Structure 1
């Protein structure tokens, strides 16, 4: 009797599954009738392209994958987080340290930043090619996705210098990143140049109040014209 009952339940489930498959097939045919499959494909590709587009809408000449790099000898040491350590057999071996090269990569999620001690620090970037810089963009995460609910470690006031060789360089302006503003903040350089430059120095003057460290998520210069090395 129990076996018969189970068989009836299985038959019922199979019938419902068949009806569900047929319904899905009918919906697909209906969509295809009203919207050609190629049109649907083009629409989906357009949506994906929009999602993949860079929100700044300007070339990034400080992109690591394009050939840019950090000049380590001219860069502030990274913050050593004592709570982040590598262990071997329960013994702490190495302190986890984030490389400054993270600011040259488009991965903007909480914790994936370059921290340096205190509120003042600097880095020099060798660009992927020589450019005449016109603007710089600073990025940070918003408060709503920060694990602590605040972003006091974000940079506040900073200065930008450029040079053709590794030297002090020319000051192109001082700016302020607004922690209550947009995630992507672009600043037009105040002192325009007519010469091509290869190095950009970012000098952070202070942060929004964090006593231990400052975090840089991404920094990039932009240019209206550039020099091709080909």
Structure 2
């Protein structure tokens, strides 16, 4: 019964305010009513309950903000997945232009030097069992522990001369998994990488940034990344892979295999190289 009386008081207060606004009556003209109704309102809604209402509102607002942030992040992830799914369905991705057997080569003049094993004590110990592989190792299909090209430190680059001018759409980087590694770690794997399309004519050289990505060692050892080949697609004769960091090895970084995907500028130049 008490709760019913309080509800009725609230109803009367709301009706009174509505009538005052509707009729254009100033609150000062019916201040006795206002004062009495406000006092009754305070008895119906104690200060503690008002504080609870404000606190509850803030919590709900924060939850809504967090939800909006999650939605934004999910939209970005979905967009990336769409790009990758389109690449996976693209027949150009099944074509690998970075195969030595179809004419791809390494531009050694613009490629980092191969790591010399004598620069680190662990490597010197294993030197009798492990020989340095040349840069064109990354252009061959055989991937097994130790069969990689290594350069000194965590920063380096390799420039691949393609067998034809290609409209580049994606690049694939392949490493071994932790399970396949004799040490159980793959800290020598590249991490942050930038890809450039390169054009060389006589003494001039022009580079165009096509994408930056991170090779995640916690994911599949073979990872494909879409490239942004400008608003107007352009064909390139070379691809430059710039490694900016690795996953923690202080002495060297290993690249096992690189695949370059895209469509040839002139289909009559060369039969498309199919990945083996």
Tell me whether 1:172 sits opposite 2:210 in the alignment. yes
In structure 1, C-alpha distance between the alignment counterparts of 2:96 and 2:112, rounded to whole Å: 23
**1:195 and 2:234 correspond:** yes
Match of residue 210 from structure 1: 249
Deviation track 1:171-207 (CA, whole Å, cap 9, x = no partner) reads: 0011000001111100001343522211000000000
Distance in 2 of aligned mates of 1:131 and 1:125: 12
* Structure with the larger helix share: 2
Corresponding pairs, count: 168
User: Paired residue for 2:116?
Assistant: 80
> What is residue 273 of structure 2 aligned with on the other side?
none
In structure 2, the residue matched to 1:184 is 222
Residues 109-162 of structure 1 show CA distances to partners (whole Å, capped at 9, x for unaligned) of: 000000000000001100121110000000000000101100000000000001
| Correspondence for 1:222 | 261
- Name the SS for the 1:65 alignment partner: helix
Name the one with the larger strand percent. Answer: 1
Other-structure match for 1:14: none
CA drift of 1:86 comes to 6.5
What SS does the aligned partner of 2:169 have?
strand
Q: CA RMSD in A?
A: 2.1
Give the Cα separation in 1 of the matches to 2:165 and 2:229: 18
Contact 1:163 1:199 survives alignment (8 Å): yes
C-alpha contact (below 8 Å) 2:164/2:264 kept by paired residues: no
1:64 aligns with 2:100: yes
Q: CA deviation at 1:220?
A: 1.6
Q: State the alpha-carbon separation in 1 of the partners of residues 93 and 177 from structure 2.
A: 20
Does structure 1 retain, via aligned residues, the 8 Å contact 2:103–2:163? yes
Question: How far apart, in 1, do the equivalents of 2:154 and 2:266 lie?
Answer: 35
TM-score when normalising by structure 1: 0.68
Q: Name stretches of at least 5 consecutive residues in structure 1 with no aligned partner.
A: 1-55, 88-94
> Quick check: 2:167–2:229 contact (8 Å CA) kept in 1?
no
Quote how far apart the aligned CAs of 1:98 are.
1.6
Larger radius of gyration: 2
- Does residue 100 of the first structure (1) align with residue 135 of the second (2)? yes
Which residue does the alignment assign to 1:153? 188
TM-score w.r.t. length of structure 2: 0.57
**Cα gap change, 1:57 to 1:125, in 2 (>3 Å):** closer
CA contact (8 A) 1:64 1:104 kept: yes
Pair 1:130 & 2:170 matched: no
Contact 1:80 1:96 in 2 (8 A): no
Please show how residues 48-59 of structure 1 align to structure 2 within 5 Å.
58-59=94-95
Structure 2 unaligned spans of 5+: 1-91, 119-123, 271-276
